[in-house]
Amino acid sequence: MSKRIWHHPEVPAGETTVSWRGVGQLEDSPAFRSWLDREFPQGVAEMADEADAETSRRSFMKLMGASTALAGFGMAACRRPETKIVPYNKAPEWVIPGKATYYASTMPRATGATPLVVTTFEGRPTKLAANTLHPDAAGTDAFAQASVLDLYSPSRSKTLLRQGQAAKRGDFEAVLAAVAGDKAAKLGFVFGRDVSPTRTRLAKELAAKFGSAKFYAYEALESSAAKVLGDGVRQLADFSKADRILSLDCDFASLDPQGPVTPFFDRRKPEGKTYAGKAQPQAMNRLYAVESAFSMTGGMADHRLRVAPSQLLVIAAQIARRIGLEGLVAQIAPLADAKHLEWVNVMADDLLQSAGKSMVLAGSRLPESVHSLVLAINAKLGNIGDDKPLRHVRSEAQGLGDIAALKADLEAGAVDTLFLLTPANPVYDAPADLAFPAALSKAKTVIHLGSRTDATAHAATWHVPVSHYLESWSDARSESGVYTVVQPMILPLYADCASELEILSALLSDDGKLVTGEGAEGKPSPAHDAVRKTFEGIAAKGSDAWSKLLRDGFQAGTSFETVEVAIPNAPIAAAPAAQGVEVVFATDASVYDGRWIDNGWLQEAPDPVTKQSWDNAALIAPETAKNLGIYDEIVALETWNGATGPDGEGEHRSAPLITVAVNGVELEFPAMISFGQAENTVVIPLGYGQGFDAEDKFGRNAQGKAPASHVGQVGVNSGFNAYPLRSSTTAYFATGASVKKTGRRYPMAVVQEHHAMYGRALAREISTIDSGDHKGGFEEQLHNVKLQGNDGHAPPNISLYKPEGKDGKPHLSDPLHQWAMTIDLSSCMGCNACLVACQAENNIPIVGKEQLAKGREMHWIRMDRYYAVESGNDFDPGNPALVPQPVACVQCESAPCETVCPVNATVHTEDGLNAMAYNRCIGTRYCANNCPYKTRRFNFFDYNKRNPLVAHNLYKGPFGEKQVGTAPHLQRNPNVSVRMRGVMEKCTYCVQRLKDAKIRQKRGQKQEALLAGKASPDSEVTTATLRIAVDSVKVACQEACPADAITFGNLLDGDKSTMVRAKGSDRSYDLLHYIGTKPRTSYLARVKNPNDKMPDAKWVGKATIHMH
């Protein structure tokens, strides 16, 4: 019998939306088609031909026979290995072995601290979640989720270094004590841009003790907004008050926060945040975005304009002109492009109509001129004020010099002992024209505190490993300035670690003694005393207030002081004319400015837009690539007979290397096509290329500045360093670049075509307006959500599955709980927070670049990213809609995977989960083959035991190197099995959390009996006793989501559950409904809220993704 081949549904006649995931698919290449038919990239999982398969099978049997026979001789398995139980010597208070304890803490960050609740098991922090009590709580992002891995990372700096060589702590303590004793010492301190009240207080004391001490702040990606707003002043956006939002290159939803972002997403849901009402488009906000390359915010926009960075000032000027600020912008050239002019004018009119309820946000990387102009525009629109969407606040971090001042002071000899306490890496990431490394060598002693042995650590006299924020006492201010405490979960894992406050405290003490972690006789760290003293100055004295702070994590009622900012009224100068190709130096979604390069979870998480992992690439719009003559090469590689392999996919995928020359420096980067990017623009993410070893075949360390010692095993040979192209005047945007082909290629790991689904109308989108086509008005589109794609005309399925078992009991028999989920595409921006949270919760390993390129990534959540454009779009066909769609196992009630498993390793539970019994799985992979959603992941190797980051290690089998270090297993969630090689795995709705909640609920029976004073057999047990409270259990992805896009709950709770209300929405649809799998996860169609007067309005809200 021949194999039945699935034929993709034909494209229907009336189809106007063109949607794609990758370039190959857009070009509809034969290679892409064959990719769709297969589960894994070619050559990864199959034998080359029949003969090969036959011999392999035979040799396999021979080997297995021999090894079984040999196993008999040893009988090693017969004696049970002796294992030990090691209880506490003195049991600490509050710790219950086997049960999680939760503490409130904070991750300090330059953009405002992220308030967290930390899950700890027997003192080990394992998982982070947002502290929802906190007024600034807005979920978490991928960085916050991944930060717990850094604590245990084998790449973490563990020992003191002196001039790059291991040193003794005693020697460093002596140096520090000498500095502390010398009140005339010319000290310099470089802090990060995060705000810590205690650090500010100690800095003042240091200034008093050391008369000539100087203070600076430095981060690689600093905003120029403060230069306009004033020292320490930042702008704070309240998205709940904004009906119209314009983002000028501002990725406020993800990488460039401007205020707690959850309220923005609440207003992307037409039914309201809790799905309580009917869908009302007027309740939604409207987002306009003007940007050069797709950001997560731009992907959410109702109207998006792509322009080169030099045009952003011109566009801001046009808005100013339109709303009556002509005087300010007389010097700036008018907007030349007629289409853009109309777009901007209509948009400005809309902002004007919503004056007082709108906001214009300028990206932090924009030049001062745009920030001034935007400030004036917001003032003119009346958007600034106490009850208005925008206000300005001043933090206590004032009077800090910048890196240019530091360089000047170093060269003038005003600083001879420098403390580099910033999380940035100035030797690597300072603007190239500053020649910072040369200035640094002028200081007599440089003491660097950092978490990695990076370039700065090696350039410094002393490198001190920093305590992780989960190991140290500190405090921070969240986005609106709420005082938030950082408390340690565990003592520093390594004895040499010190925190910033501990070093400052040592300098302030008389003897200069450095006390870290814990003082003598269990006395708390001096950082604790310092924080407590600060807190007593801010709130109340006494232990009650302090205990409450430690419990809640923050002090209610505290905030930054609101200030009034002078509104610019002088004419704003025009920018010099742009020539040549423009370059944007972008924040990277995986490594930020380079500080996360040694974090495996972030490196492996695909970039939300390009879907590239482990590297960066120069991104170029398709038309520009064609003009440069590299488009064909990229597409050729993705289509037919690539240069390095049979089809240039999977492990053979590569990208052409181009050179980008700007500011007098020429560097090589691999090039990638990026849709929706402005023409004539190259976008280069920063932060890569920090260290290379002998495995690097591309000579990226030609200058010898980036040896492997600067990074750990994760970051080595990763990407290309773009910092040398940056100067202090062109920190983010440069013009006059030239781009050339080199003819060489670079291997890439891009997941955009892995695990692609077939079928129709995967992600659905509707618009709130009637654009005059057959789709009708909002009500009609809403009604038709469930009928899009095949679902409109496929006859209802008749299921061959019986809903009950042989014993007549229904399969889904649990009368207490039936779990289900919804994912709202209207608020999902595709930021990867859920993906990384899932990795932390479920012990998901990383597999490394080589394995990832082969399609063997293990992420349980696949963050699909689709592009779609309407055929006939005459406004800008090069500006497609970007639709993200997270897909994890949807827990089909009629699951195709279950019927094909030969060993019943994947079966249904009574409460509606599609369970995986890992210990039962024999690895046939039939289930993954039969999964229409492609959500199952297979452990091709023992990723948990063998280190996938050592080159070629996995293929050495038992001779390979084991996971390095003793710490990584400490992060593991003890309630989730660590899977071994040859086992299939997938999402099971965090079944361990559901179990925990159910068991906790059952304990209530005993409590009730005790309270009632009755004998237990007489106590009443009802459904209410055993069913967990409505919406009381949250799964890891839902908990992490800053957009509240995921709801989860019990179907039997009815309308009391947010999830059930969301499922009842007209926007709710099932993925691949027509194949009859009855998934428990349903999706809510994305709603775009366009302005019907805009020239591009009729092309908006049509991006239903049809994959044919």
Partner 1 sequence: MANLFPRWTNFLPLKIAICAGAVAGGAVLAFTYYATPKTLAAGYQPSQPIPFSHKIHVDQLGLDCRYCHSFVDVSGHSNVPGNNTCWNCHQHVQKESPKLQPLRDRMDPTLKHADFGKPIEWVRIHKAPDYVYFNHSAHLNRGISCQSCHGRVDQMEVVHQENSLSMGWCLECHRAPEKHLRPLEEVYNLNYSDADVSKYSKDAGVKTTVDLGLKLKEHWKVAPKESCATCHH
Judged by the rule CB under 8 A, the positions of this chain that interact with partner 1 are: 78, 80, 82-91, 96-99, 905, 907-910, 913, 915-920, 975-978, 988, 991-992, 995, 999, 1002-1003, 1005-1006, 1009, 1015-1017, 1021, 1023, 1026
* Smallest separation (angstroms) from partner 1 to the CB of 897: 14
Q: Residue 682: CB partners within 8 Å, gap ≥ 6?
A: 581, 582, 583, 584, 618, 619, 620, 660, 737, 739
Taking the C-alpha atoms of residue 965 and residue 491, their distance in angstroms, rounded to an integer, is 18
Nearer residue to partner 1 within complex by CB, 552 or 814: 814
Which among 825, 754, 965 is positioned nearest to 158, based on CA atoms? Answer: 965
Where would I find the H helices in 512-621? 526-538, 543-552, 600-604
* The dihedral formed by the CA atoms of 705, 708, 711 and 716, expressed in degrees to the nearest 10: 110
Where would I find the H helices in 966-1085? 991-1012, 1023-1026, 1036-1040, 1058-1063
Nearer residue to partner 1 within complex by CB, 214 or 972: 972
Taking the C-alpha atoms of residue 921 and residue 928, their distance in angstroms, rounded to an integer, is 12
* Smallest separation (angstroms) from partner 1 to the CB of 943: 16
Nearer residue to partner 1 within complex by CB, 1 or 78: 78
* Smallest separation (angstroms) from partner 1 to the CB of 809: 11
Nearer residue to partner 1 within complex by CB, 176 or 921: 921
Nearer residue to partner 1 within complex by CB, 87 or 796: 87
Can you read off the two tokens belonging to residue 363?
A: 């990206």
Rounded to 10°, the helix 338-353/311-322 angle is: 50
Taking the C-alpha atoms of residue 338 and residue 353, their distance in angstroms, rounded to an integer, is 23
Rounded to 10°, the helix 142-152/833-841 angle is: 30
| DSSP assigned state of 938 | E
* Smallest separation (angstroms) from partner 1 to the CB of 985: 10
Taking the C-alpha atoms of residue 658 and residue 720, their distance in angstroms, rounded to an integer, is 12
Q: What are the backbone angles phi and psi of residue 765, rounded to the nearest 5°? A: -140, 140
Q: What is the DSSP string of 972-988?
A: S-TTSPPP-TT-EE---
* Smallest separation (angstroms) from partner 1 to the CB of 406: 47
* Smallest separation (angstroms) from partner 1 to the CB of 501: 29
Nearer residue to partner 1 within complex by CB, 697 or 920: 920
Taking the C-alpha atoms of residue 282 and residue 270, their distance in angstroms, rounded to an integer, is 8
Can you read off the two tokens belonging to residue 607?
A: 């970039």
Which among 1037, 772, 801, 1004 is positioned nearest to 897, based on CA atoms? Answer: 801
Nearer residue to partner 1 within complex by CB, 398 or 977: 977
* Smallest separation (angstroms) from partner 1 to the CB of 353: 54
Give yes or no for a contact between 711 and 428, defined as CB atoms under 8 angstroms apart.
Answer: no
* Smallest separation (angstroms) from partner 1 to the CB of 903: 11
Give yes or no for a contact between 959 and 967, defined as CB atoms under 8 angstroms apart.
Answer: no
* Smallest separation (angstroms) from partner 1 to the CB of 803: 16
* Smallest separation (angstroms) from partner 1 to the CB of 78: 7
Stretch (H or E) spanning 555: strand 554-555
Nearer residue to partner 1 within complex by CB, 58 or 995: 995
Taking the C-alpha atoms of residue 810 and residue 120, their distance in angstroms, rounded to an integer, is 39
Q: Starting at the earlier edge strand, list the strands of the sheet with 165-166.
A: 165-166, 161-162, 462-465, 445-450, 417-420, 187-191, 214-217
CB atoms within 10 A of CB 608: 24
* Smallest separation (angstroms) from partner 1 to the CB of 848: 25
Instruction: Specify whether the backbone of 1054 is left (phi greater than 0), alpha (psi in -120 to 50) or beta.
Output: left
* Smallest separation (angstroms) from partner 1 to the CB of 997: 12
Residue pointed to by tokens 């003819």: 743
CB atoms within 10 A of CB 203: 20
Residue pointed to by tokens 């629109």: 381
* Smallest separation (angstroms) from partner 1 to the CB of 174: 30
* Smallest separation (angstroms) from partner 1 to the CB of 1020: 8
Nearer residue to partner 1 within complex by CB, 25 or 909: 909
